[in-house]
Chain A
Amino acid sequence: MRILSVARSFVAGAVAAIAMNVATGASAFAQEFVKVENAAREQLSAPQFVGAAYAFIWLAVLGYVLFVARNLAKTRTEIAELERRIERAGGAPPSGAGGRGG
C-alpha cells in the first residue's frame, strides 16, 4: 500500500512538472540565454570575506594550541602521579627511553 502511495505521488509530481514546462515554454527557453532580472547580489563585502578567512584560520590554530596544551598539562599531571606511586612503592621510575627513543 505504501509503495502504491509513493508511486502515485511520483506520477502526480511528474505530470505537474510536464504541465508546468508546457505552460511556460521552458523547453524553448533552455536553448538560449535568459537575462536574469533582480538577481540576488553578493551581500558581503570583500573585507568581510577576508576577515572571515583570517578569523577562521587563527581560531583553528588557537583552538589546536589550547587542545594540545590542555592534554599536555593533563598527561604531565598523570605522569607525576604515577612516578609518585612508583616511588611510594619503593621502585624507581623507568629511565624514559621509550618516551623519546625510537
Chain B
Amino acid sequence: MPALGRGFSAALIVAAAGFLIVPFKILAAPIEPVMGFVQKIFYFHVPFAITMFVTTFTAAGGSVAYLFKGSERGDRLAEAASELGVVFGACVLVSGPLWGRKAWGVWWQWDARLTSSLLLFLILNGYLLARRYGGPGGKKLAAALSLFAAVDVPLVYKSVDIWRTVHPQTSVVPSLDPQMRPAFWMSFALVLLVWGVLLALRMRLLDARARLAELALAVEDLEEVRT
C-alpha cells in the first residue's frame, strides 16, 4: 500500500508476523493448573480489554480537543477511536463469556466488572449513534458521551477490587507466572500495534472523506459560477 506510507506498511508487516508468532508463544506457555487450557483466552482477552481502555481515553482526548478548541482533527480522532472501541469491546465481550462458560459454568453474570464493561461498550455505541442520528448538535452530544465513557474506564478497572465479583482481580497480571509473561506481553504488544494500525487507517478514511466534502463544495461553487 504505497499510498499509506512506509511507516504504515512496516507496522502492517510486523503485525502480520505477530499473527504467526504469538499463537505459538501462547500455546507454548504453561497451562494454568486451576482453569486448564481455557485460560489461554486470557492472552488475548486481557490485551483487548486494556486496548479498549486506551482507545476510550484516546477518544476522550479527541473529544476534549473538539469541545474546547473546536479541533476538527480531534473530532475525527474521537470518531475513529470510538469506532475501534466498539470493535475491541465486542471482542472482549465475546471472548470473556467463552472463557467464563468453561471456567465458571455460566456465559454471563451481572456482576460489577461484566456489567460496567457492557455499559462502556454501550456508551461507545451511543457515541456512534449520536454522531449519525443526533442532527446538528450530534457531534457535540457524542463528544460529551465520549467523556462519560472515559469516566467509566476506572470504574470498570477497579470494580473487581471494590465489589465481590466472579471475575479475577486486577492483581492477576502483576502476579503472573514468569513463564507466562513473554506470551502475554507479546500478545499485548501485537494487539496495541494492530490498534495503532487500524486507528491510522480509519483516520485516513475520515481525512479522505473530509477532503471529498471539500472538493464537492468546490465543484458546486464552480458550477454555480458557470450558470
Contact = CB atoms under 8 A, between A and B. Distances in A.
Nearest to B38: A46
Interface residues of B, number: 49
* A contact face: mostly helix, strand, loop, or mixed: helix
B204 interface: yes
Given A42-B102, A102-B71, A75 B212 contact: yes
B215 A94 contact: yes
Contacts, number: 118
Contact of B102 (A49, A98, A101): A49
B172 interface: no
A91 B198 contact: no
Interface in B82-140: 84, 87, 90-91, 94-95, 98-99, 101-102
Given A49-B41, A50-B41, A102 B73 contact: yes
Contact of B205 (A71, A78, A100): A71
B37 interface: yes
B102 A46 contact: yes
Contacts of A91: 218, 222
B207 A99 contact: yes
A86 B219 contact: yes
A7 interface: no
Interface in A71-102: 71-72, 75-76, 78-79, 82-83, 85-86, 89, 91, 93-94, 96, 98-102
Nearest to B208: A75
Contacts of B38: 46, 49-50
A75 B205 contact: yes
Contacts of B99: 49, 53
B219 A82 contact: yes
